[in-house]
Amino acid sequence: MTKFGTVYKKGGKKALLCGSGELGKEVAIELQRLGIQVIALDKYENAPAMQVAHKSYVLSMLDGARLAEIIAEEKPDYIIPEVEAIATSTLVELEKEGYNVIPTARATFLTMNREGIRRLAAEELGLKTSPYRFAATKEGYLEAVKQIGIPCVVKPIMSSSGHGQSVIKSEADIEKAWTIAQEGGRAGAGKVIVEGFVDFDYEITLLTVRHKDGTSFLPPIGHWQKDGDYQESWQPQPMNNGALEKAQEFAKKITDALGGRGIFGVELFVKGDEVIFSEVSPRPHDTGMVTMISQDLSEFALHVRAILGLPIPNIAFHGPSASKAVVVRGDSENVTFEGLDEALALPDTSIRIFGKPDVHDHRRMAVLLARGASVEEAREKVNQMYGKLKIEI
Ligand code: AMP
């Protein structure tokens, strides 16, 4: 039987969010709804989740000593990572001391780095992936490109959201792709992965939740990416039965290997009946923001239920839905949004404005959500909403 005390009192439960972006903000709200105390961490002040948390700390989450200090002081019941860039070896140590890292410290450690998760999926679990080579030096890189062949995709092993990622379409791109990867990695210059370019029909995120009574799959989410970053997602992505079964089989294998409780975003490429594993987030996924309008329990609510050991007897799906990221370009410390009255006049629509304090270059600041009679209609609606939105920087 699950028993929660009152916030701030003995017996009250405490969750520490490592990362306070738009996904963390929704997790914080879901925790709050169940009376859990939320402590939000990030590297800058007024990050979205901090605005709805009980308490927050500003630090570099890659600073293991500082992270351990805060955890020793707060003694959270749950440590919930929201991003990849965390001192995950510190989380491994803290888990040994008895802390509950979501879903497991090993899962956060392996997925922080493209090499860890790729080797687990392809070499240990035998999941089909694109052909790949890792390279730590320029020489090794040139050899890797030769072995994989053109076209191929080059990514820093420590990166996400398309940072440092590029496609080699002809020999002329080889030098440039190396430079982009060396300049765009999270940890600065370093090792890269060279992957064969997958000419997929479509790509999906298969949200998979490991909870106290087993594993549940959400309807597949299709998405469209530009420069390695998500622009639009929709649910459900139409799939033939063979491909869906295979996708679920891959998702079950990789999430079982990572273990623990919570939601996972399993990213897969599909071509005909063939399913190719790309990567997995052991946490809510940005393309899964569509579930804030498509389901009664969003990916964030499901994550929290799973973490707290609460049941997930069913996941009610409300029908075809879409999301569109609002990426603001320019430099500003006071972005304004106008035209919401017109955008939200369309039925079955919603918006989340994240409340990020500033933009430098480009930043995802909001997401538009809509339901429709079909996925096409829902996508059309989020694009119409986008047309009505006026953003000033
Ligand atoms: P990632 O950060 O690895 O998820 O990559 C971001 C996006 O780049 C993916 O969602 C795909 O749209 C594209 N991409 C990544 N790897 C490949 C690949 N090997 N072949 C084709 N497209 C890829």
Check residue 14 and give its pLDDT. Answer: 97
Least confident of 148-162, 175-189, 283-297, 306-320: 175-189
Q: CB burial class (10 A; 0-12, 13-18, 19+) of residue 116?
A: middle
pLDDT for residue 340 is more than 80 = yes
pLDDT for residue 181 is more than 70 = yes
Q: Which residue has the tokens 């491994």?
A: 92
Nearest residue (CA) to ligand 1, atom 13: 228
- For ligand 1, pick from 197, 278, 285 the residue to mutate: most ligand atoms within 8 Å of CB: 278
Better-predicted residue by pLDDT, 242 or 163: 242
CA distances from 83 to 108, 111, 250, 281, 349 (A): 9, 10, 23, 9, 28
Mean pLDDT of the residues in the chain? 96
Per-residue pLDDT, averaged over 23-39, amounts to 98
- For ligand 1, pick from 118, 199, 225 the residue to mutate: most ligand atoms within 8 Å of CB: 225
Least confident of 161-170, 288-297, 383-392: 161-170
Least confident of 186-195, 236-245, 303-312, 326-335: 186-195
Give DSSP secondary structure letters for 76-142: -SEEEE-SS-S-HHHHHHHHHTT--BSS-HHHHHHHTSHHHHHIIIIIIS---B--EEEESSHHHHH
Categorize the per-residue pLDDT at 209 as very low, low, confident or very high, splitting at 50, 70 and 90. Answer: very high
Q: How far is the CA of 195 from the centre of ligand 1 (A)?
A: 9
317: closest CA among 388, 220, 247, 233?
220
Better-predicted residue by pLDDT, 73 or 161: 73
Which residue numbers are catalytic?
160, 162, 267, 279, 286-287, 364
Q: What token pair was written down for 124?
A: 């240990």
Minimum-distance ligand 1 atom for the alpha carbon of 195: 19
Sheet order of strands, 166-168 included: 132-135, 192-196, 152-156, 166-168
Q: Is the distance from CB of 332 to CB of 393 less than 8 angstroms?
A: yes
Give the separation between CA 97 and CA 208, rounded to whole angstroms: 28
Q: pLDDT per residue over 268-318, tens digit each?
A: 999 999 999 999 999 999 999 999 999 999 999 999 999 999 999 999 999
* DSSP single-letter state for residue 295: B
Give the separation between CA 51 and CA 48, rounded to whole angstroms: 5
pLDDT for residue 160 is more than 90 = no
Per-residue pLDDT, averaged over 158-174, amounts to 90
Beta bridge partners of 208: 217, 264
* DSSP single-letter state for residue 219: P
Give the separation between CA 335 and CA 355, rounded to whole angstroms: 9
Give the separation between CA 73 and CA 357, rounded to whole angstroms: 28
Check residue 203 and give its pLDDT. Answer: 97
Q: Is the distance from CB of 239 to CB of 220 less than 8 angstroms?
A: yes
Q: What token pair was written down for 307?
A: 């973490």
Q: Is the distance from CB of 371 to CB of 318 less than 8 angstroms?
A: yes
Per-residue pLDDT, averaged over 123-136, amounts to 97
Q: How far is the CA of 189 from the centre of ligand 1 (A)?
A: 20
pLDDT for residue 204 is more than 70 = yes
Check residue 227 and give its pLDDT. Answer: 79
Check residue 159 and give its pLDDT. Answer: 81
Check residue 228 and give its pLDDT. Answer: 76
Check residue 187 and give its pLDDT. Answer: 67
Minimum-distance ligand 1 atom for the alpha carbon of 159: 2
Check residue 1 and give its pLDDT. Answer: 76
Check residue 230 and give its pLDDT. Answer: 93
Check residue 190 and give its pLDDT. Answer: 86
Minimum-distance ligand 1 atom for the alpha carbon of 196: 19
- For ligand 1, pick from 145, 150, 153 the residue to mutate: most ligand atoms within 8 Å of CB: 153
Check residue 189 and give its pLDDT. Answer: 74
- Share above pLDDT 90 across residues of the chain, in percent, rounded to a whole number: 92
pTM assigned to the model: 0.96
- Share above pLDDT 70 across residues of the chain, in percent, rounded to a whole number: 99
